[in-house]
Each structure stands twice: as structure tokens, then as C-alpha cells.
Amino acid sequence: MKRDGYTCHALSFDYGQRHRHELAAAERVARHLGVIQHRTVAVDLRAIGGSALTASIPVPKDRPEADGGRAGEIPVTYVPARNLIFLSIAVGFAETIGAWDVAYGANSMDYSGYPDCRWPFVNAFIEAANLGTKAWDDRTRRHESAGFRVHAPLINLTKAQIIRLGRTLGVDYSLTHSCYDPDEAGNACGRCDSCLIRKRGFMEADLPDPTRYAAAVVGR
């Protein structure tokens, strides 16, 4: 796949998350969009725990602040240093294939209050990535100024705007998965923060929601 002058190499992360169905969904999306390659990297964050997604901690359900898209505090679904680790691996992978651009799907508008989904984190990470890699060191010796770039095209969009944008780009949302606590068949719970924000996004975008929800929440 080549878009806007870029060829896409996709990364997914198997970090011990309870919502492992997202890995199969990522493979479906990557195949549908025709990426050059899609790799899944194993990083077991269960070893440190501290999150409802990687430890035996209940996933919060029916939080009204999530349904409104403005969390009052960082919820227990936050995974310590997850995006810091993921972006570091992405830059390492970029270095091995000679790439300088990393696409990051963080969103700071309709989200659960995670600090690693905001521009201050992204900008600080870019500086660290350039200071900590051989590729950048080689460029500075050649007096070349351009270094690693992290593109975050969704960061200032609402969920509804993201959904509309994806629709114009040909995203098949029936292939995607968002739920933090799906059942064994991969059906979304419909009640976690991620499900509530996703459902509201489709509603505000005035588009049908193709998500497969567990029978107990159909029609909620």
C-alpha cells in the first residue's frame, strides 16, 4: 500500500492484553488495506501489571464520564508506559528498514484520559528518539537536519470526525475492534469506556455501527 508518497509497514503489539481479539482485527485491517508487511511484536506487560488490561483488575463499566468523552481522572485501563514502549519499538523498526516517519493513532479529544495521547508526550518522544538512535547520529555527522517524525493525524479529532474520515478513506469498520473486555467470541461488551466512546462516535457521525455486541447489550 502506498498513500501520500508513503509505503506502509504495520506493527501490532501482543502485550498480554485481555482484549486479544484486537490482534486478529489488526491483521484483518492490514490485509484489507494492503500494507507492505504487518508484524506482531510480543512485549509481555503482564510482568509489571498495574492495569485492568494486563492484570486481574475489573474493567470499569458504564462510566458516565466516558460516555460523555471527558474522563475526570486516569482510569485503571491505563497501561503504564504502554505507548512509550510501543513508539520506541516502532522507531527501532523504522531504523532497521530505513524509514523516518512513524504514524501514531493517538487521540486526545474523545479518549479515556491517558497522558500518552497528548502532544506534549509526542513532541518529547520525538526529541528522545532522535537523540537516542544511530540513524539520527549518522545524519548529524552528514549535516542532514531531518530526523524521525511521529505523525498523529487523529490526535485533535473527535471520535465522530475520525469515523467520518475513515469512511472517506475506505475503512471497513466491521473489521475493527475496540472493546476492552470482549467475550470469548470477540463480541464487544458495550459497556467499557472504549465501547461507550465508540458507540457515541458512530451516533454523532450519523453512521451505522457495525460492531458485534454481546447479546446482553444489544439495543442499549
- Condensed to tens digits (0 to 9), the pLDDT of residues 164-173 reads 999 999 999 9
CATH architecture of 2-217: 3-Layer(aba) Sandwich (3.40)
Which among 147, 146, 153, 177 has a CA at the least distance from the CA of 104?
153
pLDDT at 86 over 50: yes
CA 115, CA 100: separation in Å to the nearest integer? Answer: 24
Q: How do beta strands 37-42 and 101-103 pair?
A: unpaired
C-beta separation of 10 from 30 below 8 A? yes
Mean pLDDT of 46-51: 96
What are the DSSP calls for 168-213, one per residue? HTT--GGG----SS--TT--B-S-SHHHHHHHHHHHHHT------B
CA 45, CA 137: separation in Å to the nearest integer? Answer: 30
The SS3 of residue 7 is strand
**Please, what is the average pLDDT of the chain?**
90
The SS3 of residue 129 is helix
Residue 203: per-residue pLDDT: 96
Residue 66: per-residue pLDDT: 65
- Per-domain boundaries in the chain: 2-217
C-beta separation of 9 from 41 below 8 A? no
Q: Which residues make Cβ contacts (< 8 Å) with residue 142, sequence separation at least 6?
A: none
pTM value? 0.89
Residue 111: per-residue pLDDT: 66
Alpha carbon distances (Å) from 182 to 4, 73, 106, 139, 178: 35, 23, 21, 45, 9
Residue with cell 475503512: 171
Q: Which residues make Cβ contacts (< 8 Å) with residue 198, sequence separation at least 6?
A: 159, 178, 188, 209, 211
C-beta separation of 10 from 35 below 8 A? yes
pLDDT at 27 over 90: yes
Alpha carbon distances (Å) from 88 to 2, 78, 97: 24, 18, 15
Residue with cell 479515556: 112
Residue 219: per-residue pLDDT: 47
The Cβ of residue 213 has, within 10 Å, a number of other Cβ atoms equal to: 20
Mean pLDDT of 161-185: 95
The CA-CA-CA angle for residues 31, 212, 163, to 5°, reads 65
